[in-house]
Structures are given as C-alpha cells and as structure tokens.
A and B are shown apart, each in its own frame.
Chain A
Amino acid sequence: MEEVPQECPGTGSAQAGRGASCQGCPNQRLCASGAGAAPDPAIEEIKEKMKTVKHKILVLSGKGGVGKSTLSAHLAHGLAEDENTQVALLDIDICGPSVPKIMGLEGEQVHQSGSGWSPVYVEDNLGVMSVGFLLSSPDDAVIWRGPRKNGMIKQFLRDVDWGEVDYLIVDTPPGTSDEHLSVVQYLSAANIDGVVIVTTPQEVSLQDVRKEINFCHKVKLPLIGVVENMSSFVCPRCKKESQIFPPTTGGAEAMCQDLQIPLLGRVPLDPQIGVRAFCHRHPSHEEEQRSTS
C-alpha cells in the first residue's frame, strides 16, 4: 500500500518533489524534475495572439440546456450591430457544438491560411469558430477524453486568426471540468474580462449554477452577472402568463441577492427561438447587451 504525504505541496509548487514531506512519495522524482511545474508554452503564445482581442467574455452555466449558446449568439449579434465593432464567437463545446446551427452556419468549413485558421464569417464584423465546422457529417460524434478536448481548445485559441477583435464571446459546455479548466488556463496570461452566467428559474438549475459560481471564485474569474432564461411563458392565444419552470426557491433574483451578484435580466420562453435558427432584436437580449458592454 503506497503512502501519500500528509502535506503534499502540490505538483505545481516550487517545493514539488523537494519538500520533506515528499520523501518516499512515488512521484517524487517526477515532481523534482519540474515536469509538474513547467507552464505550457502555449499560454504565452495565446497571450500574444490575444493582444489583438480587446475584451474576452465567457458564457458559463453549471447546468445544461439553459440557453448558453442561444445567449452567446444573441450577444454576439447584438454587439455586431455596430458595424465598427468587431466580434468573435468561439464555441468550445466540443461534444455538443450548437453554435453553427444557431447561427445558421451549418455545413460551413474552416479554411487555413498562412496566418492560421480562418473563422467563418456570418457578417463582415462577426466571425465564428466551432468544432462543428470541422465535422463532415451531422452524425459525426466527437468521442474524446479530456486531453484531446484540451488540445482542441488550445488550437482554437492559438491558431485561429481572429484579427483585430473588440469582443471575443466564448460559449462553453455545462459543468466545471476539462473545457472550463483549459480555457481558464490557456487565457490565464491574456486576462478574461468577465463571465456571464446563464440559468433557468428552478432550483434544479440554480444548484448547479451555484457550483459554477464557486468555480469562478476558485479560479478568480470576475463575474459580470447572471441572466435568467425561460423565465415565464405568455400564451399566444389568451396572453396569460404561466411559469413552466417554477422558481421554487426564488429564482435567479433570490440567488443573486444572496450571493451579491448582478442580475442582468430575464428572458421569457419564446417559441420563435426554437423554431428559427436566430431570433433577431429581442428586447430582453438588448438589455443584456447594454449591461455587458
């Protein structure tokens, strides 16, 4: 039975492999060689690349299906309404890339140039990148474990030729795992401006979202605020309001008050968002765009 040191300094620490508590640890030689402490050279390369990107915003949620990709797309389009604002939308949901479909860009392919991969432009001032553009069929599954996904994210940040960009919006998968750690790690030298958290009103979502907020605190990501999506539903026939996802614990408003985080806005359930690839000029989304800019 292997013994673990009671006071393991951590593989990234200066004391890794060298502390008194490391004696007899099976990994001592590996840690002492500096393998755990050496930073990935890509971090500096990405820092250089990101010098042309003024603002970087992550869209996160602990919970799936709350509308991260929908909000990311609307935010990107809203910011790009000003022709002089250059916007980039990066989709790092490797297993479930929704952004191409939502942006009406399915079937588009990525091209390589001398300066790297070219994003797919939906407007002159709005470029998009997603693993969805690298798959040849809608049935293709990306069945990758963490390290391969991390490699893809590194390439997206380092090898895509974004050019001069005012806003980079990063759409993420749900959770607090490889993709999230990687994007934070790779952008660590490039400064992330902030995070927009998306939730729906019910506690089943909020309990996951609180974990995501804790993740943000742990990795020192500034929080711009929370958007509550699918807040209510207005019947198109009788115009009466129903709450399909009841906020049994007070919804995002109560959580935001509790955690002292701004509530950026509430977006109602709108069947048009499900039917059409992109719902332009929704008033609630414009509210978020003003808050986030």
Chain B
Amino acid sequence: MPALCGGPRSQTTPRLPWTCSPRPISGRGACWVPVPTAPVPPAPGNLSGVRHILLVLSGKGGVGKSTLCAQLALALRHEGKKVGVLDVDLCGPSVPRMLGAQGSAVHQCDSGWVPVYMDQEQSVALMSVGFLLEKPDEALVWRGPKKNALIQQFVSDVAWGELDFLVVDTPPGTSDEHLSVVEALRSHQPLGALLVTTPQAVAVGDVRRELTFCRKTGLRVVGVVENMSGFACPHCSECTNVFSTGGGEELARHAGVPFLGSVPLDPQLARSLEEGGDFMRDFPGSPAYPALAAIARKILDAAQAPGPG
C-alpha cells in the first residue's frame, strides 16, 4: 500500500513549492499536510472582490455538475458578468477540459496564485487541481487531510480579483471536500447551493441526502436543476426519457425549494464539453440552450433579490 507520506519527490505531490507540516491523524502516525514554502502575506482576503458565491452540488456522480458550472460561467459571461470557476473535485477535475484550458499553468503573484483566464479580457477565471498536475493522467491519491489543505488554499490563496460570480464545482458526495469548502467559504456568505440531479430514482435518492447536508451546514438551496431530462431523437424527433422522468421536479417540491428547470440530453453539448468550446455562444439553436439560458437568468435574479447571501 502507498506509504502515508510519499516524501517531497513523490509522484503524487503536485508541482508546487510546498513543504510539509506534520499533523498526526487518528493515531495512525504522521500525515504530512502541505503548506506553501513562501508564507503568503495576509491579504485583505482574496475573496473580498467576489460579489456572489454559488456552490454546485449533487450527492450523485455524473449528473452534470461540472457541465452546469461551465455553462453557467459561459452564460453569465455573455450577460456581461465577470465569473470565476473554482473546481474542488480533486480526484476528477473536469473543468479545465470543459472550458478549453487544459494544459495551462498556474503562476504566483504577491497576493497568491493567479487563476487561469479563459480569454484576454479576463472575463472567466479558473482554478483547478487539473492545472497543477505534471501529467493529465496522474492520479491524485490523497486522503482527506491533504485534500482539505489544498481546498483551503484554493479558497484563501487564489487572487480572484473583482468577480460578479464565483461558481464552485464539487465532486459527488457529502464528505471531506464538501465540509472543507463550506467551512472555508462560510465567512464569505455564499449565495447558496445549486443542486443537480438526473430524473431517475437512484440519483434523486442521493440528492435528497445532499439536501440534508445543506440543511445541516446552514447552506441555502438556491434551487434544483434536472439534467439529462429526455432525449429528442435527431432522426425522428421522438422524445425518449432515457433516465426516467420527473424526479427532479418532484424532489424540489418535496424539499420545498425552487425548481430551476430541466436540461435535455444534447449530443452537441456533450461534444462542446469534450472540445472545450463555448456552447452558449455557438449553439443557441441546440436543445439544451433554452433551459441553460433560463437557469442562468434565474441565478442572476436570485443574486439580485434581497435576502441572505
């Protein structure tokens, strides 16, 4: 089995100027928790210029959290907003590929780490562990404490600058990453959480647990989105409910939270994600576009409404 400590030259240590500070865990011996070698000067807070923080959650994997994050970022940018995307899925970081930023590197500045910008206008800023790996196929085989340390750094040490929205992509579940990111963001009063599900019972069952997580951690639920909601055959236009139907709307009703919409299965959207293209700009006629645009408008409305977060 892999040793608890891989050592400073271990394959699983990302290429950052880190040293290790010991913090024993659970009586199992030392667990090295990475901290930066050069102490970051206490900035006023790298999130102080961020107006609204939205977490995208789902108890279930593969429902489209990263897809929603990417499309929301693009939609909000087309509405003239400055957007950041923080990807705290450390084991399976999808955001760099989906937004065409694969292979970009992270640099340091006086206030911390510089996010990767999608464009020259710096309208979309990204941070993901995907930018920190030597090789794209490298597995980040970390237990909780190391993941938590990196997430805390992502929250406090990235120089986001002035942003209208910071969208946070998460892995599936209700564990280390979720607890850590919610705790780290608590003092910044997030707008809330967007919960993504697919229609079938197996997904809804996990998302119900995620709703409990939001309630227990005091995270407001902005709404539920049902993704992969039906497929219109491109040959005959017959709509088939590939992953069943209705689960997302029923879940929102049961939980007493807003239902923000259903996004159909759309091979053109899937292709755009593969290629890191701008689906929201290039395919306004595609089946998924109207629902995604409507969800973005509802997020804008929620941000402008008076109330908590």
Contacts and interface: CB of A to CB of B under 8 A. Distances in A.
Interface of A: 1-4, 6-13, 26-27, 30-31, 35-38, 40, 62-66, 69, 94-96, 98, 101-102, 138-147, 149, 173-178, 180-181, 184-185, 188, 200, 202-204, 207-208, 210-215, 218-219, 233, 235-238, 240, 242-246, 248-249, 269, 271, 274-275
B142 A4 contact: no
B25 interface: yes
B265 interface: yes
B205 A101 contact: yes
Question: When A and B form their complex, which 9 residue pairs have the shortest distance between CB atoms, in order from nearest?
Answer: A65-B62, A64-B61, A36-B29, A146-B144, A175-B91, A95-B173, A141-B212, A238-B236, A10-B3
A95 B205 contact: no
A238 B175 contact: no
B4 A236 contact: no
A248 B274 contact: yes
Given A64-B62, A101-B201, A274-B244, A8 B5 contact: yes
Contacts of B281: none
Contacts, number: 266
30 contacts: A7-B7, A9-B7, A10-B4, A10-B5, A11-B5, A35-B27, A35-B30, A36-B5, A36-B29, A36-B30, A64-B62, A65-B60, A96-B60, A96-B61, A96-B172, A98-B205, A138-B205, A141-B174, A142-B209, A176-B139, A177-B144, A178-B144, A181-B1, A204-B274, A211-B140, A215-B141, A233-B240, A235-B233, A235-B238, A238-B233
Main secondary structure of the interface of B (DSSP, over half): loop
Contact of B213 (A94, A141, A146): A141
Contacts of A214: 137-139
A245 B201 CA distance: 21
A203 to B, nearest CB: 5
Contacts of A1: 37, 39
Nearest to B243: A274
Interface of B: 1-8, 11, 19-22, 24-30, 37, 39, 59-63, 66, 91-92, 94, 97-98, 136-145, 147, 171-176, 178-179, 198-203, 205-206, 208-213, 216-217, 231, 233-236, 238, 240-244, 265, 267, 270-271, 273-275
A95 B206 CA distance: 8
B274 A64 contact: no
A30 B29 contact: yes
A173 B271 CA distance: 26
Contacts of B26: 147
Contacts of B240: 233, 235-236, 271
Contacts of B244: 271, 274-275
A203 B39 CA distance: 38
B173 A96 contact: yes
Contact of A146 (B143, B212, B216, B241): B143
Contacts of B30: 11, 27, 30-31, 35-36
A149 B173 CA distance: 12
Contact of A181 (B6, B143, B145): B143
Given A2-B19, A10-B7, A143-B175, 19 more contacts: A3-B19, A27-B24, A38-B29, A95-B172, A96-B209, A98-B206, A139-B208, A141-B59, A141-B210, A145-B175, A149-B175, A177-B141, A208-B94, A215-B141, A218-B11, A236-B240, A242-B234, A271-B241, A274-B202
Residue of A204, A269, A274 with highest tally of chain B CB at under 10 A: A274
A259 to B, nearest CB: 9
B249 to A, nearest CB: 16
A246 B179 contact: no
Given A138-B208, A204-B273, A215-B139, A26 B242 contact: no
A248 B59 CA distance: 28
A245 B243 CA distance: 14
B94 A218 contact: no
A233 B92 contact: no
A65 B217 CA distance: 25
A246 B59 CA distance: 25
A175 B142 CA distance: 10
Nearest to A98: B202
